[in-house]
Structure 1
């Protein structure tokens, strides 16, 4: 975490909704198919709902059918990967590099037709969206 974006739990609770706090800070998951960005395909940039850091470009978003927004790649350096051994399995957790907020998990080798065969499965609650300037 860098750029002064680290906060205490009480500071995070003051700026995040209870659901955002549960997911971003306590590593929760929203129910499949309920997130506002699951079927959202406007052009722009998805940012961290916690700190505003740009994380994903809309050009890397794809329809995976998993029930959560899916991206095949992040903005370089914006997303960090960590081993997650919870739930009786080993997965790769993804977090915002700037503030450490939990985004979801990344999966490889599922056969999706994208350039690197990865799926970043991200909670909509962890994201905001900024529409691309059409100027």
Structure 2
């Protein structure tokens, strides 16, 4: 299933060299190379302030802080993305069948979604913290 980029954020297209120039090696490996960060390695696991989680590549808003929950998996988890902010794709890598989640604006790999989340959606968006940037409500002290 593929959706278009949300109307509040334009589509972002860059060359591989441009992405490498603006991202850290770990950010690049996860978001552009479809990697996975080590569990429990992201400081965003413990982020509890009001605000939004945006794409580290393009800045598109992806998740509201109020949708974040402690899944016990070691990765930041959310039960619902911002409307139209992500796309979902069939992922059969590593002999598994999963649903990959990407940024709708720049196609960055963010993580995967699973059907074992809390109400009201029953979905767990298990995201790589390195693919996200926290933007606190009021706009100060971004992580």
> TM-score w.r.t. structure 2 length?
0.88
Look up the match of 2:89: 82
Unaligned runs of 5+ in 1: none
Look up the match of 1:6: 13
* Distance in structure 2 (CA, Å) of the matches to 1:96 and 1:121: 13
Look up the match of 1:126: 131
* 1:29 and 2:36 matched: yes
Look up the match of 1:39: 46
Task: Report SS of the residue matched to 1:104.
Answer: strand
Q: How far is the alpha carbon of 1:28 from its aligned partner?
A: 0.4
> CA offsets per residue over residues 45-88 of structure 1, 9 Å max, x none?
00000000000000100011000000000000001000000010
Unaligned runs of 5+ in 2: none
> TM-score w.r.t. structure 1 length?
0.93
Look up the match of 1:114: 119
Pairs aligned (count): 132
* Distance in structure 2 (CA, Å) of the matches to 1:24 and 1:113: 26
Task: Report SS of the residue matched to 1:81.
Answer: strand
Alignment of 1:67-78 (within 5 A): 67-78=74-85
Alignment of 1:83-98 (within 5 A): 83-98=90-105
Root-mean-square deviation over aligned CA pairs: 1.4
Task: Report SS of the residue matched to 2:102.
Answer: strand
Task: Report SS of the residue matched to 1:125.
Answer: helix
Moved over 6 A (4+): none
